[in-house]
Amino acid sequence: MTRAPAPTDADIERAATAGAGVVKRTPLVTSTWLTERCGGEVVLKAENLQRTGSFKIRGALSKLAALGEEAARGVVAGSAGNHGQAVAFAARHAGVPTEIYMPAGSSIAKTEATRSYGATVLVGGETVDDAVAAARARAAETGMVFIHPFDDLAVVAGQATLGVELADDVADLSRIIVPVGGGGLASGVAVAVKRRRPGVSIIGVQVASCAPYADRPAGDGPVVTLADGIAVKRPGRVTRPLVEELLDGVVTVDEDEVGDAMVLLMERAKFYVEGAGAVGVAALLTGRVAPADLGTTVVILSGGNVDLGVLPSLVRRHETRAGRRLILFARISDRPGGLARLLTNLSAQGANLIEVEHVREGVDLHVRETGVQAVLEVRDEAHGAAVVAAARAAGYDVTEITGR
């Protein structure tokens, strides 16, 4: 089917056998809110519920099975987190030692999970590429077997098992939206699906800060992005020809769009999905990809290993962008009851007070005045505007200090 070297159907079948009993057949969840918003039937493939929290376990088990007795020497990998967790889990399952190199600043959640699966975790430079290079060097030094996160036919065969599931489970499958980093998942899914359903369109999504498949490569140094799992600067020699040949297009989304998609998936689908896994939903929400006119569009949620430390700021940022969080500065009388009267006015408009503080330094105030900064939760932009208008109508000098 493909001109580029690709896993055979027999390779994919062996990968499925290697994952039997460990890899979950993850659910397909109908998304009413995305369907209504985007105008086509949308279903979510919940690989965020997969073992180790991402699709990567498929490729890791496939590669270990392909190694056979070689795996007894131990395995080593470089990873931003998901590949490392998968290799560590698969190696523990096979009873072989594991070392994982991760970039400095990797997600704490991913780092600790990798250790919990029995791997020795080492710092491997500033970027994923640095970590992969460190793992290669370690393999050459020790005789351990290096497992690449995506640029390996056995790994691609493992990821292709996800495509087989989609082709088997979605009778009217018409379009697939898939995150793209190094291209292991995208090429595996494309190989499997295009052989079985050649009419299905497959659209890849990259994060704009690191999108070599969309001709937007990142510069030197680490890539700071919510979608760290797909922040791969150089596509592989195995995966690039497959992605370029089999995908029907690649689009990009930016950081704010990824963050909004993560929050909406929590709010509307009750799914914790990491940035790399949420890019497909971001592409739908922004209209960069439309659902198929006929049939079902599947969005692959490739991973759910969210660093919980980023969630509060993500939620705040999303609420502000959606017009549901309002920050006001007001000058009020510095006399008993002055603050209470202001808060009574705000609450009378249905605004929910989240926090309030006096601000007396760095502000030009009358000797009988004090400044107050209030953070409010409102329904939407129109409600926020009504709250501000009512305060001003009551005589308060109010400034909105948050942008929407």
Question: Which positions are annotated as active-site residues?
Answer: 56, 302
* Buried-exposed string 232-268: b where 16+ CB fall within 10 A, e elsewhere: bbebbebbbbbbebbbeebbbbebebbbbbbbbbbee
Is the separation of the CB atoms in 274 and 229 below 8 Å? yes
Angle between helices 153-169 and 9-19 (to 10 degrees): 90
Q: 3-class SS at 114? A: helix
DSSP secondary structure code for residue 22 in this structure: T
CA 43-46-49 angle, to 5 degrees, is 160
Which residues make Cβ contacts (< 8 Å) with residue 62, sequence separation at least 6? 14, 15, 18, 19, 154, 155, 157, 158, 161
Sign of CA dihedral 305, 310, 312, 315: negative
Vertex 297 angle, CA 189 and 161, to 5°: 20
End-to-end CA distance of the chain: 49
CA–CA distances in Å: residue 173 to residues 136, 253, 281, 294: 39, 24, 17, 9
Pairwise CA distance, residues 18 & 58, whole Å: 9
Give 79's DSSP letter.
-
* CA pair distance 203, 180, nearest whole angstrom: 9
CB count in 10 Å sphere of residue 310? 16
Show Cβ contacts of residue 321 under 8 Å, excluding neighbours closer than 6 positions.
Answer: 256, 260, 404
